[in-house]
Amino acid sequence: MFEIEIRGKLENADFKRLTRLFEKDGKLINHYHRLSVDISPGFDPKTRSWPNEDQLDLRIKKSNEKEKITVKIGDFNQKKREEIEIDLKEGHLLDTLRMFEVLGLDKGIIYYWESWEYKYEGFEVKLTQHLKDHYNWEIESTGENLDPNILAEKLNLTPFTREEYKKEIDWQNFNLHQLYSLETAEKILKENF
């Protein structure tokens, strides 16, 4: 499966504006807290980044009760990327992380946030809150002929450039997210799910 999406940063006022708009004219399709453990190969804990940019994202995720393994293939800023997902039984996230550790994938970043996903004008729009004052948006096409840039422009949203997105990722990895360890993932699970 391929996903076609763009993303950008939101200010608090825009988060509130879009929430009001989507609650009025859109449809809430999902609201969840997400724990996402990114153990993509090549992670450097000192720089909190993936310097080799091997175009492979490997994440083990929990969104409310749902757990899955997700692999995205292609450049991190690519508008269209291949995505492969495998659903896990609830409660298997930690065992899955242990399995990947045995295979040598024991370094990465733990992300945690709250998201609201809406259907709006044929698109899926996700508003994400990291902590209390840091927001992002994503617009994903639900069909090949839908260009998310058209909706972004209509909503007065500016997508990240490649450089801006890389800068945002680096900032978040140092200021919002935690280095991966099995113990830290387990602690976040116990505190939030």
Summarize pLDDT for 125-137 with one digit per residue, the tens: 999 999 888 999 9
Residue whose entry in the numeric block shows the structure tokens 């998201």 = 115
Rounded CA-CA distance 106/104 in Å is 6
pLDDT in tens, 27-37: 999 999 999 99
Is residue 52 predicted with pLDDT exceeding 80? no
Prediction pTM value: 0.88
CA dihedral 50, 124, 2, 173 (to 10 degrees): 0
Which H helix or E strand runs over 185? helix 182-192
CATH architecture of 2-192: Beta Barrel (2.40)
Q: What integer pLDDT is reported at residue 24 of this predicted model?
A: 97
Average pLDDT over residues 103-128: 96
* φ, ψ (nearest 5 deg) of residue 48: 55, 45
Within its chain, how far is the Cα of 130 from the centroid?
11
Of 130, 93, 107, which Cα lies nearest the Cα of 9?
130
Alpha carbon distances (Å) from 46 to 41, 43, 100, 170: 15, 9, 21, 12
- The ranges assigned to domains in the chain are 2-192
Sign of CA dihedral 141, 146, 149, 151: negative
**Which of 10-24, 26-40, 59-73, 131-145 is predicted with the least confidence, judged by mean pLDDT?**
131-145
Alpha carbon distances (Å) from 178 to 57, 148, 154, 188: 17, 31, 35, 10
Q: What integer pLDDT is reported at residue 75 of this predicted model?
A: 82
